[in-house]
Amino acid sequence: MYIVNRTLTFVRGAILSYGPSAVKKKLWDKEFSGSKWDFINDTAGDCVYPYLEKYANQGNILDLGCGPGNTANELALDAYQSYIGVDISEAALAKAVKRTRECGRTEKNSFVDSDFLSFEPNCKFDVILFRESMYHIPYGQVLPVLKKFSQYLKSTGVFIVRLYVGDHRPGVIKPRVTSKIELIKREYSVVEARQFELPALPNVIVFRP
């Protein structure tokens, strides 16, 4: 059973990183249409928020792989002027739009249905966020993707990446995630980086070109 589960996890991960957009979209939609991701509906108090609120500078945020609108609606309202969330899953975005309406944030929050790999913004941002979404960028694509989005950072802007380095098994470190973090630290100017001692070791890295 263990081997079957590990194989399925591996295949899912490969499709979500390397598959065509239409296939990724189908898979994410299926997952967000069920209850699998309900646990991220409430992430208030997450370790990424103080960083977002500090670097948003009451300006513009681009959230790549925004999910069901948790970041858009849990972030302090006065910390930002505008927020654009991009996601490949219509099902996740429907939740994000609904929650934004319920929270009275439609003036500030907007959402785009797109694969972020092909998304082209039409303005510059104080923060470009990859919160739990960089797993789905193949290692060889990380630098090209960051280079592309660098042109959409204001001169004082930063990228913020949040990633779990551990998993639910104590002591297990994910080598592929660690190598992406090391790559970023080597190639970009790190402003702040911290690993939190919460379960599964979330890392937050703030960096700029």
Residues in 137-196 at the binding interface with ligand SAM, rule: CB under 6 A = none
Residue from 87, 109, 180, 181 binding ligand SAM (CB under 6 A)? 87
Query: Distances from the Cα of 155 to the Cαs of 54, 125, 147, 151, 175, in angstroms?
Result: 16, 9, 14, 9, 32
For the CA atoms of 128, 98, 16, 134, what is the dihedral angle to 10 degrees? 20
- Of residues 88 and 153, the one with the C-beta less far from ligand SAM: 88
Residue among 95, 118, 102 nearest 24 (CA): 118
Are 4 and 10 within 8 A, CB to CB? no
Question: Is 136 near ligand SAM (CB under 6 A)?
Answer: yes
Question: Is 92 near ligand SAM (CB under 6 A)?
Answer: yes
- Of residues 92 and 204, the one with the C-beta less far from ligand SAM: 92
Question: Is 70 near ligand SAM (CB under 6 A)?
Answer: yes
According to DSSP, residue 179 is labeled: H
Residue from 51, 55, 65, 165 binding ligand SAM (CB under 6 A)? 65
Residue from 15, 26, 40, 49 binding ligand SAM (CB under 6 A)? 40
Strands 125-131 and 153-164: parallel
In the complex, the smallest distance separating the C-beta of residue 44 from ligand SAM, rounded to whole angstroms, is: 12
Question: What H or E segment, with its residue span, contains residue 6?
Answer: helix 2-18
Q: Which residues bind ligand SAM (CB under 6 A)?
A: 24, 28, 40, 43, 65-67, 70, 86-89, 92, 115-117, 131-133, 136
